[in-house]
Amino acid sequence: MVLSKDTIRSLHNDTKTLKKVQELRNINDAKQAHNQKVSLNSANERRQARRDISKLTAKEIEADEAMEEKVRNLEVEQAKLKAGYVDYEFADPQLSLLPLVNFLCSSLKSLCETDCPICAKKILVGDPTELANLYKVSTSTLGEGASKEAKRAEKEKRKLRGMRPIRVFCGCYYHYKCLDVLMTEPPFGKACAGSCFGDRPVHHPDYPDDKKILERAYSNKNAREREIADAAMCF
């Protein structure tokens, strides 16, 4: 967690909340000195103490979630600044080729020797023909009457498209298929294993920054697969 005035204030509030919860629990659990089987406080007082604990807990959970979202957004913004990320929808256009040439020289020149942090294979394929097909959109539709050669060629194209280099906010490059596995399968929130040697999770605009959303999507995907498997067993 980033140490700031907000985090220090949050820790102070957590301490006060824990103290208050402990006091309410004492009201609910206290027993009479001469008879440990009899409660020291009335049923109404104990009931009210339990209600107050529930309210404080719910309020604290809401505050923690808000703080987690704030810290997560701060991490994303810091990763964007470190990588020089620009939102071109709101950026002012520069009428010069110099920024583009500088980017090509500083960032893309080293890609030929860069390895994917996940599979350890070269980010760029060596065959120029395959390199040209990385971003080629397939316009053919294969029907049931398509030949085996055509189906095999289409399968190879889909496999090749999974080798597209994708740049994340920290500036490292991953193969598309490797990044997709990293972002959509547990454990979520892994730190980048690329050349940046960062200790922050990988962020990319195509994937949610909230781990809970990724976990929910993974659980729903597994649930659908189980339902399909159960339905297949019935038939």
pLDDT value at position 1?
A: 47
**pTM exceeds 0.75, yes or no:** no
**How much is the pLDDT for 72?**
73
Determine whether 210 is exposed, middle or buried from the number of CB atoms within 10 Å of its CB (0-12, 13-18, 19+). middle
Count the alpha carbons within 13 Å of 228 in the hemisphere toward its beta carbon: 6
**Residues 190, 202 contacting (CB under 8 angstroms):** yes
pLDDT in tens, 168-202: 888 888 999 999 999 988 888 888 887 776 677 88
- The pLDDT of residue 235 is 66
Q: How far is CA 196 from CA 11, 173, 202, in A?
A: 31, 10, 11
**Chain segment 39-92, per-residue pLDDT in tens:** 777 888 888 888 888 888 887 777 777 777 777 777 777 666 665 665 655 566
Q: What's the DSSP call for residue 185?
A: S
In the block, residue with structure tokens 């440990």: 36
How far is 185 from 76, CA to CA, in rounded Å?
Answer: 20
Residues 130 and 156: beta-carbon distance below 8 Å? no
83 phi and psi angles, rounded to 5 deg:
-85, -5
- Check pLDDT > 80 for residue 99: no
Domain edges within the chain:
5-82, 113-234
pLDDT in tens, 4-33: 666 677 777 777 777 877 888 877 777 776
Does position 116 have pLDDT exceeding 80, yes or no? yes
Query: DSSP letters along 71-110, please?
Result: HHHHHHHHHHHHHT---TTTSPP---SHHHHHHIIIIIGG
Looking at the predicted structure, is the pLDDT value of residue 141 above 70? no
